[in-house]
Every structure is written in structure tokens, then in C-alpha cells.
A = this chain, B = another copy of it.
């Protein structure tokens, strides 16, 4: 619900008592030097994008493999640059989890390079004929995938995203502007230098891959408002980052990744499946968007499921923020140390931690109504043995992914077999769910005739 192409930031900044139309591209409050810098990079990227759009798959794959080799060859410099970032991070008191995401060692650099080789092995989305026909008048029409043009990525201090995004953009024929977290500045500079040198060696435009290294936060805002120069901005990171981009961008945005995912254990659920799926959905990787944040249990199965489930969650260190019925069950199961009463807002909280809101519901209808009210439109799962309940869940829940008897953790481009993932869209326009190469393209209609005119 949040593709954006808004004049938000610009409008807020240039609003005046006379109510004149703002100039979206150069809001007054953004440092003009940052705007000039970003627009200059974007213009060069656009020139590069016209060449990229015409490259064959063979040319793009060869470039991707050369980029992978260049990253491998530069491992020493990259790890050294990363060490500078890590030192600054430690000095600034960066949290352990963030430091871990920032860290590159030899193995991780090699994994990053291998991801480019993986992208090279994927089919080229450009040129795919989506549909086509020959009309009664003999005109041949076909809808063909073509690159978007220039794509901006705004993300946090995760250097692997730099390389993933560059690889996916190149494969889909797009030039890319990378605005990574400043805490990864040295790592990103070393990585992008390797990528650009590989492009130059293959006679391809270096400006296919651009790191926005100057201008601080104003550069990010200039990127979001470079309408006409940038075709699409994808934010990737936490909810705050995403909402800021969605709110302030005048360039079209694809919203990614906030997930208040539910698991509903239906009255007919298999108890072991319910325990396995809820535990896996919650604890397999609690910090990501497809982790479960809310549990709903049908009252008819609560006595059978909750003892084992609450004990298993407690054993994994999960704190269950539950209603009174959950509390009673937790005490009965001896899992009350892991229980606390559900608080206002817990139903809508994406904890991203070993916390889970939980309620007992009286019916499938009640579960559906709860999900309808609290879903973030990411992933919603039912555990059931009942065919009718499964069919209602699939039909009535409005989310990017609806699951029957499977962990919410499966909503993922890699798991879906896409081979790569640029993010998970939680909006309805253009892309919904895991996004990979086709989602970085648009289409054009090609119409071929022999002089046809309309009667």
C-alpha cells in the first residue's frame, strides 16, 4: 500500500504561506551541494543505464563473474577497510548484533563474491515476453520485460547488500545508486571500487554501479527526491528507515519488509506440527521480517497444544506476552517464568526479538478478524488439519504470503527458488512478497505492422 512518488519531504520543506507548488527535486532544506552531487551521479548513471539496457545476457554474466573475481582478488583491501569500519563502530559503542552484520572476514568476502556468481547463473529477466498475440488486422503485439533504468538503494550498515544490489541491478539491466549506512563507508568504498574496476576492465560503464559516499544524510534525501533522474528507490532495513523513505521520497518507492506475522493454531491442528511451526517461526531467526510476532490458538485445542508449546517456547528463551488464558496455561505448564501479561500495543508490535504476543480465540472467524485488524500484510500462517479452514484462511487473509502448515520463515526469495532477493514487498502495487530480478524490470509493448492504420 505504499509505493510512493510523493512530494512529501520537498513539500514539507518548501511549504510557504502562499501555498506555491514546491520544486520536488531541490527542497530548500537539503544542502544544494549534496543535491548537485547526487544529481551528477544520477545523470551519469542514466547514461550508463542506456547501454546496460542493451547488453546481452552473455555480456552481463561475464561482467558479474569478473566482478566476483575482482571482489575475491581484493579480499585483503576489503577486510582491511572493514576493520576501519569495525574500529569506528566499536569506538562509537555499536551493538554486538550490528557489529556482526557489519563484519567481513575472508570467508564472508568470498561468500559475497559467490553471490554474484549465483546471480550470473540466473535467467535474464530482460527480454522475457510476458504475453503477446497477433491481432485481427495482422498487427503483432508483445509485452516485453525491460529494465527500470536507474534504481536507488537505501540501506543500513550491511556491506553484503552493496554487492547483492549491484549484482541484481546489473543482471536486470539497471544502473544503481547505493546509499549504504555510513558505518560501513570504508567497506562499501572498497567493495564498489572492486566492482567498478571489473566493469571497466570488461569495457562496460563504471557508472553502472555508484556509491553515494558524500553528502551525509542530505545525499539520501537528494536521492529520494531525484524524480525524473531515478526511476525507483528501494529502502532495505528497519521499520524507521523504510517509513522515512516512504514518507519523504518523491521518487517511486517499493516498501519492504515490516512483518507482524501471525501463526494461528486451528482447533484441528496437529499438536506436534503446531509446536514445530510456532517455535520455528519465532526462534529460527527472530530479528528478521518473516519471523512470527503473534500467536493465536483456538480455544478447543488450547489444552492440548499450549502445555507443550509454552514449554518449548520457554526452553528457547521466548517471552510470551499473553492474555489471561495464555497466562493460566503457562502457570499450569510450569512456564510462567516466560510469561508476561499482554500490554497495549503488543498485538501490533514487530518485536524482532525472542518475544511473542499470544491470545486464545474462540473461533476461526475471531482469528480472521484479529489478523485482518493487526496484519502488516507480510506473512500469515494457519496450522490446521481441516480443509475448509485452510481454504478460508487462504482466501480471506489479505497478505503477501498466506501459509498452511508451514513456518512463516519460508517467505524468502531464496526459499522460493528465486536465487536472489532484493527485499520483500509488503505493498500491493507492482510487487508483493519476495522480490528478485523480474521485480526490477518494467515492460514495454512492441507493436509490429505493415502499415496498419485505424479505421
Q: Nearest-CB distance from A437 to chain B (Å)?
A: 13
Per-residue CB contact flags for chain A residues 392-407 toward chain B (1 = under 8 Å, else 0) read 0011101111111111
Which residues, 212 to 264 on A, are CB-close (under 8 Å) to B? 227-228, 231-232, 246-247, 250, 252-254
State the CA gap A452–B405 with chains docked (Å).
7
Task: List A residues 5-55 near B (Cβ within 8 Å).
Answer: 5-9, 11-13, 15, 19, 21-22, 50, 53-54
Chain B residue, CB-CB nearest to A438: B131
Taking the complex as formed, is A433 at the interface, i.e. its CB lies under 8 A from any CB of chain B?
A: yes
A386 on interface, CB distance cutoff 8 Å: no
Q: Tell me if A415 is interfacial: C-beta within 8 Å of chain B.
A: yes
Which stretch (A76-84, A185-193, A326-334, A443-451) binds chain B? Answer: A443-451
A440 vs B249: C-alpha distance when bound (angstroms): 24
Total chain A interface residues with beta-carbon distance under 8 A: 86
* A133 CB–B CB distance under 8 Å: yes
Asked if B402 and A446 make an inter-chain contact with CB atoms under 8 angstroms apart, the answer reads yes
B7 and A247: CB pair below 8 A?
Answer: yes
Interface 9-residue window, one of A105-113, A141-149, A203-211, A347-355 = A141-149
A429 interface contact, C-beta 8 A: yes
| Binary B-proximity of A275-292 (CB < 8 A = 1, otherwise 0) | 011011100100000000
Q: Name which of A7, A149, A427 has the most chain B CB atoms within 10 A of its CB.
A: A7
Find chain B residues with CB under 8 A from A449 CB. 403-406, 410
| Pairs across A and B, CB under 8 Å, 12 listed | A3-B4, A8-B8, A9-B11, A12-B19, A146-B398, A232-B428, A280-B453, A400-B444, A400-B445, A405-B450, A407-B453, A433-B445
- A94 contacts chain B at the CB level, 8 A cutoff: no
Q: From residue A148, how far is it (CB to closest CB) to chain B in Å?
A: 6
A298 CB within 8 Å of chain B: no
Given the contacts A276-B451, A447-B401, A415 and B135 also touching, CB distance less than 8 Å: yes
Considering the chains assembled together, what is the distance between the CA atoms of A15 and B8 in angstroms? 10
User: A103 on the interface (CB 8 Å rule)?
Assistant: no
Partner of A11, one of B15, B270, B281: B15
- Report yes or no: B416 in contact with A442, Cβ–Cβ below 8 A: no
Q: In the complex, are the beta carbons of B407 and A452 less than 8 A apart?
A: yes
> A252–B433 contact, CB under 8 A?
no
Minimum CB distance partner of A228 in chain B? B1
A101 within 8 A of B: no
Q: Does A118 contact B (CB under 8 A)?
A: no
Tell me if A428 and B253 are in contact (CB < 8 A): no
